[in-house]
Structure 1
C-alpha cells in the first residue's frame, strides 16, 4: 500500500508541472531517488510516459475563432464557380474545372452521397456536392491546400480535412470495384491491344516505376532520398496498352530501385503464380515460338515473362536493334507518363501539408 501511495504522489506531482520538458526532468530526479528499488523505478517510468502523452494532447493548438473573420462577408461566394459551371449549358467548362462532365459527377455523387452529407451543425455547412468538388479540384489540378483555401474562401485546415475525408470515402467505395486482379481475359485483351495499337506482338503489359516528390517524413533519415536528389515515394505500376493500371505497389522508399521493389512486391508473387493465365506461346514469323511477356526497362532482370530492351552496345552496332529499343522504350514510357500526367493524384497526395 505504501508503494501505491508513493507512486500516486509522484503522478500527482508530474501532472501539476507546466510542460513535458519539466516533467521529463522530474522523472529523472525521481528515478535517481528510487534507483535502489527497481520495481518502483519501472512503475514510475511507465506512469511518467503516460503523463507526458496526456500533456502533449492537452498542448494541441485549439481553434482561435469559429470562422475566419475575412470569410464572413463572402460566405455567399463560396463555390460560386462550381455551382455556375454545374448548371451551365457548356459541360466543357465543368470538365475543365473538375475533370468530370456534369452527368459523370452527379453519378459519382449519388453513389457516395450518404457518406458525404453531414447533419447541419455549422453556421455555413459544406454540402456533399461541394465536398466532392473540392476533392476533384484538388486532385485534378495538383493545387495545394493553401491555394484551395484562398480559391474557395475556406480555411486551409478545413480544405485538408475535406480532401482527406472524401478521398477515404472514395477509396473505400470504389477500390475493389476498379482495381480487379488481372484474369486470363484481361491478359488476352491487353495483348491484342498491344499488337493493334502499338504494333508490338506478344506484349501484355508495361512495368515501370515513378518517383513522386514528397516532404521528408519525420525521423525517417535518408531512406526516402533518391538518386535524383529529392525525397520521394515510388509507384510501381503494371499498365495495359490503353494506359489503364492493372496492378500497382505504392509507398516504397525513394532510395529503393524498381527491380528491388518488384522483387519484394506481391505483384511479382501474383504474376509468377498465375503465368498460366497468360496467352499460350505462339510462333512469331521466322523467329520461332515467343512467349507473351511484360515490357520493362533496363533496371529489371530478364525473364521469360519480363522482357527488357537490348543494351546500349548492341543498339549502337545495329540500326534495327536501335529502332526496336526506341519503339520498346516509347511504349513503356508513354504508358506510365500519361498515367502520371492525367491526374496529379500521387503528387498532391504525397505533399500532405499546407
Structure 2
C-alpha cells in the first residue's frame, strides 16, 4: 500500500468512526413535560406516600426519615435552573440514588423509569452518595474516642460475654465490573472483581470504623495493614483505653483491650484471633467459642447491610470511585436507620410510661 492509498484508508476509517450528529438536545421521552407526566417520581412515588409500608419497601426509608434525610442533604445536592432547562430537584435526585442503593438496578432501567438520561443517573448516584456520607458522618459514624471505646467494651461484655473487646473486625468483598486497564488488582480469590469494605462493628451491629476501596486481590490482613485504622492500631493513635483487669481473672493483672477477627488477621497485642487447627485443648476451645460469638457480630452486620441495600446482591457495573461512594453511603445509612429506630422506640416507651394510669 503506497502513501496515497494509506491516506485514503485513514480518511475512510475516520469517516466511519466519527460520531453521529445528535438528533435531539433533550429526547422527548426525557423532557421536563414527559418527566412530570409519566416519570416514576411524579407518579409512583407520590402514590407511595399514601402508604408508609410500601414507601419503606421501595426506598428502605419511611416517609419521615426520607424527609429528614432530604433536609440534611438537600442543600448539598441542589442544582441551579438555567434558561435552557430545569434542574432535577433535590427530592428526585435523592429518590434516584436511594432507588439504586436499595435495588442495584442498572442505570438504564432507572433512567427509563425516572425519564432522565443514563449518564445523568450515574452522576446523581455518585454525587448524592457522597453528599449522604458527608452529611451523616459527623453524627452517625464519628471517630470513636476513649469513652466510646469503653462503652463498646461494656456492650460486648454484657451482651456477648467477651470482656475488654472494642469491636469485631472483618472485610467484605463488594463485586464490581472489571475496571479498564486494571489487570488483576481487583481480581479476588472468589474469581470475581471487587473492592474491599473493612469494618469494625460494635455489639449493637453499628459500624464504628469503615475503610472502603481496598483492591480485591488483597487479603483481609493486607487490607487492615493498608488502612488508616490499621496504621493507627500499629502506631497507638486510636485513643484506646488503658489496660484493665478482667473480672474473675484478677491474678493475671491488667489485660489490654482488643479487637477480634478471624484467621485472616494477624495476632497482635490489640488484635485477637482464634487458635488454629481443628483439634485444640479444652480451654482453647472455650476461648475459640467465645471469640467466635463476638466475631460473628460483624458477619451479622454485613448480612443486615446486604439485605437492606440490595446493590450488594448484584454486580455493580460502575467505576471503583462510584462504588466506593455507594458503599460509604450505605454504611452511614445503616447506622442512621438503626439509631433513628432506637430513638423512636425510646420515645414511645417514655410516652407510654408517662401516660400510664398508674403513674
Same fold (TM over 0.5): yes
Name the SS of the counterpart of 1:149 in structure 2. helix
In structure 1, the residue matched to 2:266 is 301
Deviates more, 1:257-266 or 1:226-235: 257-266
In structure 2, the residue matched to 1:36 is none
CA distance in 1, matches of 2:71, 2:281: 57
Query: Does 2:313 correspond to 1:310?
Result: no
Query: Does 2:216 correspond to 1:254?
Result: yes
Cα offsets for 1:84-125 (capped at 9, x unmatched)? 223x1x322222221222222222222333341431545665
Find the partner of 2:237 among 269, 274, 278: 274
Q: Return the offset for 1:351.
A: 2.6
- The unaligned stretches of length 5 or more in structure 2 are 1-9, 320-359
CA distance in 2, matches of 1:61, 1:199: 67
Q: Return the offset for 1:205.
A: 0.6
Distance change >3 Å, CA 134–CA 201, structure 1 → 2: same
Query: Does 2:59 correspond to 1:98?
Result: yes
Query: Does 2:137 correspond to 1:171?
Result: no
Question: Rg larger in 1 or in 2?
Answer: 1
Query: Does 2:158 correspond to 1:196?
Result: yes
Residue pair 1:209, 1:235 contacting (<8 A) in 2 also: yes
Name the SS of the counterpart of 1:277 in structure 2. coil
In structure 2, the residue matched to 1:83 is 46
Q: Return the offset for 1:250.
A: 1.3
Residue pair 1:203, 1:294 contacting (<8 A) in 2 also: yes
**Larger RCO: 1 or 2 (CA < 8 Å, sep 6+):** 2
CA distance in 1, matches of 2:301, 2:112: 35
Q: How does 1:215-254 map to 2 (within 5 A)?
A: 215-254=177-216
Cα offsets for 1:37-70 (capped at 9, x unmatched)? xxxxxxxxxxxxxxxxxxx9xx777754233344
Distance change >3 Å, CA 334–CA 316, structure 1 → 2: farther
Distance change >3 Å, CA 235–CA 310, structure 1 → 2: same
Q: How many residues align?
A: 300
Name the SS of the counterpart of 1:66 in structure 2. coil
In structure 2, the residue matched to 1:66 is 25
Deviates more, 1:251-260 or 1:103-112: 103-112
- The RMSD of aligned alpha carbons is 3.2
Deviates more, 1:292-301 or 1:68-77: 68-77
Distance change >3 Å, CA 306–CA 156, structure 1 → 2: same
CA distance in 1, matches of 2:299, 2:200: 12
CA distance in 2, matches of 1:306, 1:132: 39
Query: Does 2:87 correspond to 1:156?
Result: no
Distance change >3 Å, CA 63–CA 262, structure 1 → 2: farther
